[in-house]
Amino acid sequence: MKTFKDIRGQDKAIAFLRGIIANERVASAYLFAGMEGVGKTTTALAFARLLNCKDPKDEDACEQCDSCRKICDGNHPDIHLIEPEKDKKAISIEQIREIERHIAFSPVLARYRVMIIDPAERMTDEAANAFLKTLEEPPPRNVFILNVRDPGDLLPTIVSRCQRVPFKPLATEHIADFLTREEHVDVERARLAARLAEGSLGRAQWLASDELFEERAHWLGRLRNAVGGSFDILLDLARECSSLERTKPAGNMEPREEKIALMMGIWKSWYRDMLLIKQGGARDLIFNSDLSSHLEEESASYTVHALISAISVISRAERDLMNNRNPLLILERSLLGLKEVARLG
């Protein structure tokens, strides 16, 4: 398990959290805000360890004391990771009730009980309302950490009771380097996965390990056909994409949605590359550099404005997907949107 010194790319967040501990000004709730796969949960667990470590060294947990060891083994009675239950999409009110039962008592062993809600935007409305009551008068020595992609997806009354800790997207070189060094992904593939992942290590890991990655050229060809072809082709593509599933889901999403999110990322990279070409950007910044002749050819038929519209169609679809809307409808609507953009050029 990582301690603060092992976490890369989040220096500001970590300096802030170390400062809290050094000054003993621990608040009752923190909002860790940033995209998935940038180290929010890892940082939250490192924070829980340092908060409770019996022998901290150089502003970091010792990794030796019982508290550190128990957290590391996942059996500390006061450290809770609250996630959607297996096969469910949401964090339920029962899970929030369970938190309420815990905080009715002092922590068993810890100086601070730490409860990590991941991702907080997956609380049902009922659960969020119940949680808000808990946040209104939290007993001392209880710390909540709410992981969230976009604080706008939470109740403003919850957001206003939390201290915000922003997490940045990770640098592309850092991600590529990690994939080659730690996961033995070949250099070319690591570089492309890192670029497509837009700053999320988690997403880069899925991408590098997903068959979608090898099939990228195929799917981009299908996208071009659908956008320039008949409605039947387009609806077929939407249906086919909506039934793909990841064999090894890695994130918080359902296997099917995770796959669609990857597909959307690939589509977006295509329009983003055309935009780059259109604006005369440096060619070495192209994501899909292996398909550059197709990109050059196709970008000629779009205006800059149209490409920006296409990217926003996909961004909206990604957002809808995060909010658990119907995947087939999302795919159909975004493909129709992209067709419309292509028609207007």
**Which residues are near Zn ion by CB under 5 A?**
53, 61-62, 65, 68
- Min dist. Cβ of residue 56 to Zn ion (A): 7
Residue (63 or 83) nearer to Zn ion, CB: 63
Count of positions (residues) in the chain: 345
Residue (64 or 301) nearer to Zn ion, CB: 64
- Min dist. Cβ of residue 250 to Zn ion (A): 29
Q: What phi and psi values does residue 145 have, to the nearest 5 degrees?
A: -120, 120
- Rounded to 10 degrees, the C-alpha dihedral 245/249/252/256 comes to 0
Residue (70 or 268) nearer to Zn ion, CB: 70
Tabulate helix, strand, coil % of the chain (nearest 5).
Answer: 60, 10, 30
Residue (107 or 199) nearer to Zn ion, CB: 107
Distance in angstroms (rounded) separating the CA atoms of residues 344 and 326? 27
Nearest alpha carbon to residue 201 among 251, 164, 257, 146: 251
- Min dist. Cβ of residue 53 to Zn ion (A): 3
In what side-by-side order are the strands of the sheet with 163-166? 79-82, 113-117, 142-148, 29-33, 163-166
Residue (66 or 150) nearer to Zn ion, CB: 66
- Min dist. Cβ of residue 12 to Zn ion (A): 24
Distance in angstroms (rounded) separating the CA atoms of residues 64 and 45? 15
Residue (62 or 336) nearer to Zn ion, CB: 62
Q: What is the CA radius of gyration of the chain?
A: 22
- Min dist. Cβ of residue 70 to Zn ion (A): 10
- Min dist. Cβ of residue 111 to Zn ion (A): 11
Give the burial class of 23: count Cβ atoms within 10 A of its Cβ; 0-12 exposed, 13-18 middle, 19 or more buried: exposed
Residue (65 or 155) nearer to Zn ion, CB: 65
- Min dist. Cβ of residue 17 to Zn ion (A): 16
Q: How many CB atoms lie within 10 A of CB 222?
A: 17
Distance in angstroms (rounded) separating the CA atoms of residues 334 and 312? 10
Nearest alpha carbon to residue 104 among 71, 133, 59, 139: 139
Residue for token pair 């169609």: 313
Secondary structure element (H or E) that encloses residue 31, with its range: strand 29-33
Nearest alpha carbon to residue 120 among 88, 86, 155: 155
Q: What does DSSP assign to residue 138?
A: P
Q: What does DSSP assign to residue 123?
A: B
- Min dist. Cβ of residue 145 to Zn ion (A): 19
Residue for token pair 């880069």: 204
Residue (61 or 116) nearer to Zn ion, CB: 61
- Min dist. Cβ of residue 65 to Zn ion (A): 3
Residue (111 or 168) nearer to Zn ion, CB: 111
